[in-house]
Amino acid sequence: MRRLMLTAILGVLLTPEVSARSAFFWSVTNGSYASVDYISFGESDFNRDQGAVDGSRSLVSGQYDFSHARGWVLGFGHEYNALDISAESPAPPQTNGDLHTLHLATQWHAELGNGHLRAAFAPALSVSSNGLKNPDELNSEAVQFWGALIYRWPANGMDWLAGMAHDYRHGNDRVYPVAGIEWSNDAVFLRATFPDLELRFDLGSRWIMAASIEPDGNEWWAYDRGLSDANEFRRQAWQADARLSYRFANGVLAGASLGYHWDQEWRFRRQDDSAARLRSDNSYFVGLHLSWHTRNEK
């Protein structure tokens, strides 16, 4: 099922590469922002006629940058997935499809040697809506910890990056390397790192065209309607999207996006240790966004 999508991004910092679920540590930059994002998923059928899933996602996030004085950045985020899940066999996961992930981020960056060191940490709560409404029912299963340590240094006309990150973008609790390059001139920006790829073009002073590839997984602790049962519910997927945006003279950025999900897998494990794994077809999503921003100068 296709739904109309509307994305509004209000902020104090330009992050033109707005996308559905980027790594939170990429937002460490010189400035502050607040944003709201909304996309709609196309229907994706489970393999062997076991049902289908579709829905929408909204994302609110922001950060305040103290870097001009202390080198610290404080951030927050709230992602809400409203999924319509119809699984015939095996039994569907214990969730109404309303899934929330909230995080508070602390990020620090400083000059080190010939380069720049970033450290980021974010505790997160990832749970279904009925669990969020009944905090006395929550336990450690609903808590996540994200983190990253990345060193950047210039060489051969570009920036090189190397480090480690820990989050749930691959669909489970995972530590993974972050390594690659960033390069830019007046009109082009390229980030080619594992596991993210982004290419952005400034088409004159107003239009921006961008494309990206990144993991798009997550994990939630999901309760049934009566709060009598729960399960560990996971989504694993990859995402590619293309975006076209227009920058107005007053600092407002507006645009549209088209994206594609592939290698989608849905897993859940109940409290009685019964488990299921469902793969679903590749699917498209579409979206709009609107942003307002400024940038602090160092």
pLDDT in tens, 155-168: 999 999 999 999 99
- Residue with the larger pLDDT of the pair 41 and 10: 41
**Taking residues 74-89, what's their average pLDDT?**
86
Residues spanned by the domain of 273: 24-292
What pLDDT score was predicted for residue 28? 56
pLDDT band at 91 (very low <50, low <70, confident <90, very high): low
- Tell me the average pLDDT of the chain: 83
What pLDDT score was predicted for residue 88? 65
Spatial separation of the C-alpha atoms in residues 111 and 51, rounded to whole Å? 52
Look at residues 262, 98, 277 and name the one whose alpha carbon lies nearest to residue 172: 277
In this structure, is residue 200 part of a structural domain?
Answer: yes
In this structure, is residue 10 part of a structural domain?
Answer: no
What pLDDT score was predicted for residue 15? 33
In this structure, is residue 29 part of a structural domain?
Answer: yes
- CATH code assigned at 230: 2.40.128
274 to each of 13, 131, 140, 232, how far by Cα in Å?
46, 21, 20, 11
In this structure, is residue 130 part of a structural domain?
Answer: yes
In this structure, is residue 277 part of a structural domain?
Answer: yes
> Positive or negative CA dihedral for 90, 283, 125, 169?
positive
> Which tens digit of pLDDT belongs to each residue from 140-158?
999 999 999 999 999 999 9
> Which tens digit of pLDDT belongs to each residue from 55-78?
999 988 888 888 665 678 888 999
Looking at the structure of the chain, the number of domains it has is 1
pLDDT band at 2 (very low <50, low <70, confident <90, very high): very low
User: For the purposes of burial, counting CB atoms within 10 Å of the CB of 219, is it exposed (0-12), middle (13-18) or buried (19 or more)?
Assistant: buried
The answer to whether 166 and 145 have CB atoms below 8 angstroms apart is: yes
> Which tens digit of pLDDT belongs to each residue from 264-296?
999 887 767 777 888 999 999 998 787 766 554
In this structure, is residue 147 part of a structural domain?
Answer: yes
